[in-house]
Amino acid sequence: MQGRHFLQIPGPSPVPDRILRAMAMPVIDHRSAEFAELGKAVLEGSKTVFKTTQPVVIYPSSGTGAWEAAIVNTLSPGDTVLMAETGHFATLWRQIAVKFGIEVEFIPGDWRRGADPAAIGERLAADKAHRIKAVMVVHNETSTGATSRVAAIRQAIDDAGHPALFMVDTISSLASVDYRHDEWRVDVTVSGSQKGLMLPPGLGFNAVSEKALAASRSNSMPRSYWDWAEMLKINANGFFPYTPATNLLYGLKEAIVMLQEEGLEEVFARHQRLAAACRAAVKAWGLEVLCEEPSEQSPVLTGVLMPDGHDADRFRKIALENYNISLGSGLGKVAGKVFRIGHLGECNALTLLGALSGVEMALADAGVPHRAGGVAAAMASLQGNGGPKVAAVA
């Protein structure tokens, strides 16, 4: 098909041309002074995105690797952790912890909300012996479009007077949803390159507190590739203990510049505007947003429930074949029941409206019961919420 493909999955997100050009550099000696400058720039620049003054460790890995790094650097076999079942990715993080001999208390959920701070606080208050070594939550559950209230969970931990480490997965929220590693006293923040940072997959991140670093010096979990100590020792001079993903780091440097140019607060506000417009379209179509709690509906993506008797994957196939648009599939418990519209990273009002046009036409092509007018509702939302900055010329 002519024209650009609409990649409207909730990550990997489209890579801006500026970042593609930044990555199109010759590979350089990763032990050179030139590389040290690049290394220092991205290691320091990443702190501004996590909103931390603490170290940020960068791995050549997916977010799954960063999950594993958070576990093996802080916990020991036999430790107990508290997690919340917010969706598919919380379930996967749990599975990794179990493989390392961690006992996981999994607060059940219906995949339609974020983690419940009250339930977490209640369980911690009951843990008088402090057996629970860490609380681990997913900030933005990519499979459902529900965002957990990290600040409220931090407050629940404090109110319970519990010493557990606090670990948060921001793989699909970093640089798209307001997040404050230091202010919310998160001990390990996990993230990846392919979502709000607008890069291809291939970089994993751990932002780590002093408390987490202390835990890493006393825990007994074996590790080598993921060892923070080995990374931080050589990171101090801008280098890495093994061959880094040099060209992705060039892209990361440019991504940080782009985020700083727009300003993180405006980045967050833009994502909120786009999400509100997307939800306005879903409501106008007469369809249902998967996340039931409005205050937890994600700025990054919108999960849409299909009417009974209609298969989401068949609809997605029709949308792709007829309009060259990729929509996110339902995962785990909601496979075939949900499609997901990504509105993150390099996305603006016209990009979203184009995507919603494709969705609305595909709904008709697939015979999915709906009302027309979703795109018009999104337009009205955008015009009334951060629309034109100047009056139109008569």
Of 260, 281, 306, the one marking the end of a domain is: 260
With 0-12 / 13-18 / 19 or more C-beta atoms within 10 angstroms meaning exposed / middle / buried, residue 27 is exposed
Q: Report the candidate in 4, 82, 110, 18 with the shortest Cα–Cα distance to residue 345.
A: 18
Q: Quote the pLDDT of residue 394.
A: 37
The answer to whether residues 240 and 316 belong to one domain is: no
Is residue 277 one of the residues assigned to a domain? yes
Across residues 119-125, what is the average pLDDT? Answer: 98
The answer to whether residues 301 and 330 belong to one domain is: yes
Is residue 1 one of the residues assigned to a domain? no
The answer to whether residues 173 and 297 belong to one domain is: no
Q: Report the candidate in 330, 300, 278, 340 with the shortest Cα–Cα distance to residue 139.
A: 300
Q: Which residues contact 143 (CB under 8 A, 6 or more apart)?
A: 87, 88, 89, 111, 303, 330, 331, 332, 334, 340
Across residues 351-373, what is the average pLDDT? Answer: 98
Q: What is the pLDDT of residues 155-175, one digit of tens each?
A: 999 999 999 999 999 999 999
- pLDDT of residue 390 exceeding 80: no
Q: What is the pLDDT of residues 250-290, one digit of tens each?
A: 999 999 999 999 999 999 999 999 999 999 999 999 999 99
The answer to whether residues 247 and 267 belong to one domain is: no
The answer to whether residues 39 and 73 belong to one domain is: yes
The answer to whether residues 237 and 274 belong to one domain is: no
Q: Report the candidate in 339, 360, 352 with the shortest Cα–Cα distance to residue 385.
A: 352
pLDDT-derived band at 2, boundaries 50, 70, 90: confident
Is residue 31 one of the residues assigned to a domain? yes
Tokens 């075939």 found at: 336
pLDDT-derived band at 355, boundaries 50, 70, 90: very high
CATH code of the domain in which 276 resides:
3.90.1150.10
Across residues 370-390, what is the average pLDDT? Answer: 83
DSSP 8-state code for residue 335:
T
Is residue 365 one of the residues assigned to a domain? yes
Q: What is the pLDDT of residues 233-243, one digit of tens each?
A: 999 999 999 99
- pLDDT of residue 388 exceeding 70: no
The answer to whether residues 255 and 267 belong to one domain is: no
Q: Which domain holds residue 85?
A: 17-260
Q: Which residues pair with 192 in a beta bridge?
A: 204
CB 108 within 8 A of CB 85: yes
Q: Quote the pLDDT of residue 386.
A: 54
DSSP per position, 79-118 = -EEEEE--SHHHHHHHHHHHHTT-EEEEE---SSS---HH
Of 260, 278, 297, the one marking the end of a domain is: 260
The answer to whether residues 254 and 379 belong to one domain is: no
Is residue 275 one of the residues assigned to a domain? yes
What does residue 153 show for φ and ψ, rounded to 5 degrees? -70, -40
Of 203, 228, 260, the one marking the end of a domain is: 260
Q: How far is CA 13 from each of CA 10, 263, 304, 326, 354, rounded to the nearest angstrom?
A: 6, 19, 19, 11, 16
pLDDT-derived band at 16, boundaries 50, 70, 90: very high
Q: Quote the pLDDT of residue 364.
A: 98
The answer to whether residues 195 and 314 belong to one domain is: no
Q: Quote the pLDDT of residue 384.
A: 79
**Based on the structure, what is the number of domains in the chain?**
2
Q: Which residues contact 104 (CB under 8 A, 6 or more apart)?
A: 80, 81, 82, 83, 94, 97, 98
